[in-house]
Structure formats: structure tokens, C-alpha cells
């Protein structure tokens, strides 16, 4: 029995040893596969970036009458104006890969070694000094380092995302513009790409001129653009189209559609010739029109753009104009795209043109006011254009609204 026990012990030990060796082999095999996957993903990334640059060659880089240095990185190209220390144009492709990308911000701001005349630098935006305890103190100059090619457009590419942090890709931007208005336009482009599942060509830059004011404390006397533009173009065979946004470098109070202009108008402002390789007929179609509704830009398929203010009767205003009418009594016109009746408070909340939580104008009917209605507003008005009369006030969220107490203060706009 003594020898049998020893044999069993040795057999079990051998099995454990075999199992341990097999486990280690499988773990090593898995690690090798992970390394192979990482290597393949890197190769795929480089091939995709090269493909993006090849796509830019189809319409061609913008042509300038002035002297610009064409700088080509792995992910995008730019026409750099050495006299202004910033680009006259940047050009890249936003692909549907953004939907699945998960690369985080790198914040590795740095000078661009490819710019022969030197780009801007950190000291053009703020002064950083090390304290005795190892921390840093910052003295800002009042402007953000605003991206032209957005980092989020390359969430799928570590190389591309990192390249967006070159100072050559930065301009001085008002913080409210950079973080709100401009960020909304950047997000809108990605939203369109995600919704339509196709790549878009994007051109972005400031409007440059010699009379721009510089940042006084800037080491290179970097000038502050008054306006920035962003051009998007779909060059697919079935639906070629384009539009541009021209926005002032400050907090913009209107919706993105308010700032839509034709690409032709940007060419006149900048002196640049965009998409020079396209045929004249395609170029005219893309650059001459500025139809925001031609793009899948709505988060909710019920949402609509505000009515054209110039086509409304005198005394009537669209939902986008409502903010400027706070404190006055007037008619606000729009389409009912979402509505809710609260059983608890017996109040009715109606949103025109843009639904919750992106509402831009609301109608409120409290319990006492609802008694003066012969119909259910949240049901019978849904999907209809209405004109609401009342005093425009801001609600707790800062959204313009009108509180209605009588049925006759809401009219079907088609009947006007």
C-alpha cells in the first residue's frame, strides 16, 4: 500500500505538471496571437491612412495664388501660410471608421517639423512655469489652441489622432467658440458620416488677412482669426453635393444651419480654388449649392430645420429667432416634433422643430390653461406647423418658451 500511494502521488503530480505546461503553452500561444493582431492592425492603419491621402488626390489640393507650403502628414494635408504661422487650408477625409474608433485624446501638442518656416508654439497661447513643488503655473492669453483637423475624426487611428496635435493644426479660438459652436460643427460632420455610412471630404481653416489683430503676449505674434470655415463634400457618383460653414470666432447663438454658405463664397473670401481636378459640371453642382437639408444631420428623424425667416409674414418669427425675442410678445412658428402630457402635474410640454433633449423652443400649457382647450394639444398638434402667440421667456434650461393659457393663442400655420 505504501508503494501504491507513492505511485498515485507521482502520477497526480505528473498530471499537474503536464496541465501546467499545457496552460503555459496556450497562454504563450494567445500572447503571440495578440502580438500578431496588434501588428496586423498597425499595418491596416497605415494602409487606411495611405488610402485617405490617395482619396485627397482625386479632387486635388486647393490651388492658391499666394505662396503656401504644402505639408502632407500621414493623415491629412495642409497649405501653410508662413507669414501668418497657420494654414490657409487643411484637407482630410472623415471615414465611417469613426463609428468604431476608441483611441483617446493624446494631448501631445508639439511643433510641426515639416513646416519649414516654423509653426506656432506653446508660448503663443500661454506661459507655463514650474513651481518649487514640481507643479506648474499657467498664465493664459485668453484663447484656446483650437484644432482645425479634429482629433475625434481619427478615433480609429493612433497615428492620425496624434498628428492633429501639431501646432500647425492650431489657431487661436475663443473658448466658447472652440468648446461649443465649433465643436458642434465638428460633431455634426461625424454625425452625417455615421448616419450615411460614407466618407466625406473636409476642408477647414481660418479666413486669413494681414489686418488681423495679434495676441499681444504671443511669442510669434500669432494673429486672431475673425472667422473660420469648414467645407464638407460628398463626391460619390450617385449624390455629389457640398456645403460650407462660415462662423465668427466667438460664441455663436444660432444653430449650425444658420451659418451654411456655398463653397463658392468661401473661394471668393480666401482666393483659393477648391477641388481643382473635378469636372466643371460636378464642381458647379458641389460648390454652387448650400442646402443643409440635403444632409442627414438630424439626431431624430422627426426633427426639422427652422422655417426660412425671410418667408414668414411680418410679426412672425422662426424658432431660431426666438432667443432674440425674449421679453417680447410675438408669434413663433415651427413644427411640433415632440410633445408630452404629465399626468402628475397635468401640464403639457411641446417642442417645435427640435425634440427633447435638443429642443430650441418650447410651448408650455399648465393645468389651468389646459382647461381652456377643446382638444388634446400633445395629440392633435403632433406633426403640424403652428404659430404660437405669447411672451417669449427663458425656461430653467435657458431655452426660449411661451406659456399658453388659451386655445386661440395656438393656430395652425397652414391656415395663415
Has residue 266 been placed in a domain? Answer: yes
Phi and psi at 233, nearest 5°, equal -140, 135
62 and 146 both lie in a single domain: yes
112 and 150 both lie in a single domain: yes
CB-based contact 377:340 (threshold 8 Å): no
The model's confidence at residue 339, banded by pLDDT at 50, 70 and 90, is very high
Has residue 133 been placed in a domain? Answer: yes
Name the most confidently modeled range: 13-22, 89-98, 190-199, 232-241: 89-98
Report pLDDT for 63.
97
Mean pLDDT of the chain: 91
DSSP string, 257-324: GGGEE-HHHHHHHH-EE-STTS-HHHHHHHHH---GGGS---SSTT--PPPPGGGSPTTEEETTGGGG
17 pLDDT higher than 70: no
308 pLDDT higher than 90: no
The span from the CA of 152 to the CA of 193, in Å, is: 13
Report pLDDT for 13.
58
Q: For the chain, what percent of residues have pLDDT higher than 70?
A: 94
334 and 282 both lie in a single domain: no
252 and 117 both lie in a single domain: yes
330 and 369 both lie in a single domain: yes
H or E stretch at 339: strand 329-341
DSSP string, 182-203: HHHHHHHHHHHHHHHTS-EEEE
Has residue 300 been placed in a domain? Answer: no
Report pLDDT for 100.
83
313 and 289 both lie in a single domain: no
The span from the CA of 60 to the CA of 58, in Å, is: 5
The model's confidence at residue 416, banded by pLDDT at 50, 70 and 90, is very low
Provide the CA 301 distance to its chain's centre, in angstroms: 19
The span from the CA of 100 to the CA of 133, in Å, is: 42
Q: How many CB atoms lie within 10 A of CB 318?
A: 21
Q: Is 23 helix (H, G, I), strand (E, B) or coil?
A: helix
Residue that finishes a domain, picked among 239, 270, 294:
294
pLDDT tens digits along 125-165: 999 988 888 888 889 999 999 999 999 999 999 999 999 99
pLDDT tens digits along 249-287: 999 988 898 999 999 999 999 999 999 999 999 999 999
387 and 263 both lie in a single domain: no
Tell me the three cell numbers of residue 189: 460632420
| Number of structural domains in the chain | 2
The model's confidence at residue 4, banded by pLDDT at 50, 70 and 90, is low
The model's confidence at residue 398, banded by pLDDT at 50, 70 and 90, is confident
CA dihedral for 260, 264, 265, 267, sign (positive or negative): positive
Has residue 320 been placed in a domain? Answer: yes
Which letter does DSSP use for residue 380 in this model?
H
Domain limits for position 143: 56-294
The model's confidence at residue 1, banded by pLDDT at 50, 70 and 90, is low
Residue 17 or 389, more confident: 389
18 pLDDT higher than 70: no
Stretch 299-317: mean pLDDT, rounded?
Answer: 84
Report pLDDT for 14.
56
373 pLDDT higher than 50: yes
Say how many CA atoms lie within 13 Å of 382 toward its Cβ: 12
Q: For the chain, what percent of residues have pLDDT higher than 90?
A: 69
Has residue 362 been placed in a domain? Answer: yes
Residue 195 or 299, more confident: 195
Has residue 245 been placed in a domain? Answer: yes
Report pLDDT for 73.
98
Q: How many CB atoms lie within 10 A of CB 392?
A: 22
Report pLDDT for 11.
53
Residue that finishes a domain, picked among 240, 270, 294:
294
Phi and psi at 138, nearest 5°, equal -125, 140
Stretch 306-322: mean pLDDT, rounded?
Answer: 89
Tell me the three cell numbers of residue 81: 501660410
290 and 322 both lie in a single domain: no
Q: In which residue are the cell numbers 410633445 written?
A: 339
146 and 104 both lie in a single domain: yes
281 and 318 both lie in a single domain: no
Residue that finishes a domain, picked among 243, 264, 294:
294
CATH code of residue 253: 3.40.570.10
15 pLDDT higher than 80: no
Distance set, CA 316 to CA 256, 356, 386, 403, 414 (Å): 21, 23, 11, 17, 13
195 CB-contact burial (10 Å; exposed 0-12 / middle 13-18 / buried 19+): middle
The model's confidence at residue 415, banded by pLDDT at 50, 70 and 90, is very low
Amino acid at each position: 500500500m505504501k508503494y501504491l500511494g507513492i505511485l498515485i502521488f507521482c502520477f497526480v503530480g505528473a498530471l499537474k505538471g503536464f496541465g501546467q505546461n499545457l496552460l503555459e503553452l496556450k497562454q504563450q500561444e494567445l500572447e503571440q496571437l495578440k502580438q500578431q493582431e496588434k501588428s496586423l492592425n498597425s499595418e491596416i492603419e497605415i494602409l487606411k491612412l495611405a488610402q485617405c491621402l490617395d482619396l485627397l488626390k482625386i479632387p486635388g489640393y486647393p490651388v492658391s495664388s499666394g505662396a503656401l507650403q504644402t505639408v502632407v502628414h500621414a493623415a491629412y494635408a495642409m497649405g501653410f501660410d508662413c507669414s501668418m504661422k497657420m494654414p490657409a487650408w487643411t484637407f482630410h477625409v472623415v471615414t465611417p471608421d469613426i463609428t468604431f474608433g476608441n483611441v483617446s485624446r493624446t494631448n501631445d501638442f508639439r511643433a510641426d517639423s515639416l513646416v519649414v518656416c516654423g509653426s506656432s508654439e506653446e508660448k503663443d497661447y500661454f506661459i507655463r512655469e514650474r513651481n518649487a513643488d514640481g507643479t506648474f503655473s499657467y498664465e493664459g492669453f485668453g484663447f484656446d489652441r483650437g484644432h482645425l483637423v479634429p482629433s475625434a475624426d481619427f478615433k480609429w487611428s493612433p497615428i492620425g489622432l496624434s498628428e492633429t496635435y501639431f501646432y500647425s493644426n492650431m489657431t487661436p479660438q475663443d473658448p466658447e467658440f472652440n468648446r461649443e459652436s465649433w465643436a458642434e460643427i465638428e460633431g455634426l460632420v461625424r454625425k452625417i458620416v455615421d448616419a450615411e455610412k460614407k466618407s466625406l471630404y473636409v476642408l477647414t481653416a481660418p479666413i486669413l488677412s494681414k489686418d488681423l489683430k495679434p495676441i499681444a503676449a504671443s511669442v510669434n505674434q500669432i494673429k486672431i482669426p475673425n472667422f473660420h470655415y469648414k467645407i464638407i463634400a460628398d463626391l460619390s457618383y450617385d449624390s455629389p453635393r457640398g456645403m460650407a460653414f462660415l462662423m465668427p470666432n466667438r460664441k455663436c447663438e444660432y444653430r449650425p444651419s444658420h451659418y451654411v454658405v456655398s463653397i463658392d463664397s468661401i473661394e471668393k473670401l480666401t482666393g483659393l480654388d477648391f477641388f481643382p481636378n473635378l469636372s466643371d459640371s460636378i464642381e458647379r453642382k458641389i460648390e454652387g449649392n448650400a442646402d443643409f437639408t440635403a444632409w442627414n444631420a438630424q439626431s431624430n428623424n422627426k426633427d426639422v430645420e427652422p422655417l426660412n425667416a425671410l418667408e414668414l409674414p411680418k410679426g412672425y418669427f422662426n424658432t431660431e429667432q426666438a432667443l432674440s425675442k425674449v421679453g417680447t410678445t410675438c408669434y413663433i412658428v415651427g413644427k411640433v416634433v415632440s410633445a408630452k402630457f404629465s399626468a402628475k402635474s397635468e401640464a403639457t410640454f411641446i417642442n417645435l422643430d427640435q425634440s427633447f433633449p435638443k429642443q430650441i423652443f418650447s410651448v408650455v400649457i399648465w393645468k389651468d390653461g389646459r382647461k381652456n382647450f377643446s382638444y388634446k394639444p400633445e395629440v392633435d398638434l403632433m406633426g403640424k406647423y403652428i404659430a404660437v402667440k405669447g411672451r417669449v421667456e427663458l425656461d430653467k434650461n435657458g431655452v426660449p418658451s411661451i406659456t399658453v393659457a388659451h386655445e386661440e393663442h395656438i393656430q395652425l400655420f397652414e391656415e395663415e
